[in-house]
Structure 1
């Protein structure tokens, strides 16, 4: 449709193709210029696809997002055309918040709260130290990986999360106690060096972002070359 001028994609730098869509399982994200012609084309094509395949779009659960320069009157007009609710930032997609600007504590805090809430569901009194360490490695730490691959977390937030994890490891509770503990950097050492094999969250966050940066530099995948 783009090649035949039936669909206008979002603007991009000269010489670069802008993305028109992203597909993930049963989710479809369409990127286009907000014209009546474009939106009518999108709605028409989805209805034709649904009539043929039997896979119908749930318009009431779908959202349409607009740029900051569009007027309220035009937003209302285009929304009524597609029959979708108006989406607003921030919102979560695949467990990661999408927002504009730098990561802020109020955006990332819900992720930390949701992960740390798992502590309350575990019967810590019946767990040994080894059992608590295993839960931290296999459940808590891995739960942060998805967002760590995308955003640089605030160091103050990582320190708060680390403190609660450390307390749970030694006492079975996230609350502060007066018990003597082994230094956390010792706990994050490999087994071979006398540690518990736990992950330093700040180091993990930094490593995953460096991996993403390397992909931006070396990958020929369209998703990376467009943003570079």
Structure 2
């Protein structure tokens, strides 16, 4: 629709094309300029698709987001065309937080809360000292890889809770341990437990993303 000039895309930096959509499983994001014509054509396209495929859009579970340059009058006229709620940032998309500006504590804390909720005390009591590192590796590696842009204070706080869980089976209980945490993060072959240093993990993921920005000739990275 954008290629045939039926849909006006959002504005983008000079020399770059703005993204038109993101599609992952059942999550679908469409980016377009805040005009009545655009919304009508998007709604019409979905209705035609639904009549052919039988897959219908649940408008009551969909949201529409507006940029800062869209006036209240435009918002009112656009919202009257379709029964969608007005979405606001921050929000969670595919488990990762979406927000505007610098990441604040109120945005990042849900990441830590979601991770730490998987280390309930009853789980620690039911696991042996050899089983807790396995749980830590499976939870942390899978959770933080999708939320890599976090401040060091968050990684350090989560590390402290995980360290408590490893030695006491509870995130809130502390214990004097003579084994340094960086030794626990060594590979098995070097006498460690094979755990991940969250600060280093976060830093390595950011460096990998930076490298992709520089070297990849891919639409997502060039934008």
Alignment correspondent of 1:175: 172
In the alignment, the residues of structure 2 paired with residue 178 and residue 219 of structure 1 have an alpha-carbon distance, to the nearest angstrom, of: 47
Q: Alpha carbons of 1:4 and 1:137: their partners in 2 closer, same or farther (altered >3 Å)? A: closer
The TM-score normalised by the length of structure 1 is 0.93
Alignment correspondent of 2:185: 188
Alignment correspondent of 1:110: 110
Q: Alpha carbons of 1:178 and 1:2: their partners in 2 closer, same or farther (altered >3 Å)? A: closer
Q: What SS is found at the alignment partner of 1:92?
A: strand
State the shift of 1:21 in Å: 1.2
Say how many residue pairs are matched.
Answer: 223
- Asked whether the 8 Å contact 2:168–2:175 carries over to 1, the reply is no
Alignment correspondent of 2:35: 35
Are 2:119 and 1:119 aligned? yes
Unaligned 5+ segments in structure 1 are: none
In the alignment, the residues of structure 2 paired with residue 162 and residue 13 of structure 1 have an alpha-carbon distance, to the nearest angstrom, of: 39
Q: What SS is found at the alignment partner of 1:2?
A: coil
Alignment correspondent of 1:5: 5
State the shift of 1:17 in Å: 1.9
Residue by residue over 1:61-97, the C-alpha shift from the partner in whole angstroms, topping out at 9 and shown as x without a partner, is 1111001122222212111112211000000000011
State the shift of 1:121 in Å: 6.1
Runs of 4+ in 1 over 4 A off after TM superposition: none
Q: Alpha carbons of 1:178 and 1:13: their partners in 2 closer, same or farther (altered >3 Å)? A: closer
State the shift of 1:115 in Å: 1.1
In the alignment, the residues of structure 2 paired with residue 181 and residue 125 of structure 1 have an alpha-carbon distance, to the nearest angstrom, of: 22
Q: What SS is found at the alignment partner of 1:97?
A: strand
Unaligned 5+ segments in structure 2 are: none
In the alignment, the residues of structure 2 paired with residue 180 and residue 12 of structure 1 have an alpha-carbon distance, to the nearest angstrom, of: 53
Which has the larger helix fraction? Answer: 1
State the shift of 1:123 in Å: 3.0
Are 2:87 and 1:90 aligned? no
Alignment correspondent of 1:203: 200
- Asked whether the 8 Å contact 1:170–1:181 carries over to 2, the reply is no
* C-alpha RMSD of the superposition: 1.4
In the alignment, the residues of structure 2 paired with residue 41 and residue 122 of structure 1 have an alpha-carbon distance, to the nearest angstrom, of: 53
Residue by residue over 1:100-123, the C-alpha shift from the partner in whole angstroms, topping out at 9 and shown as x without a partner, is 011111101111111101111643
State the shift of 1:140 in Å: 2.9
**Bigger CA drift: 5-14 or 195-204?**
5-14
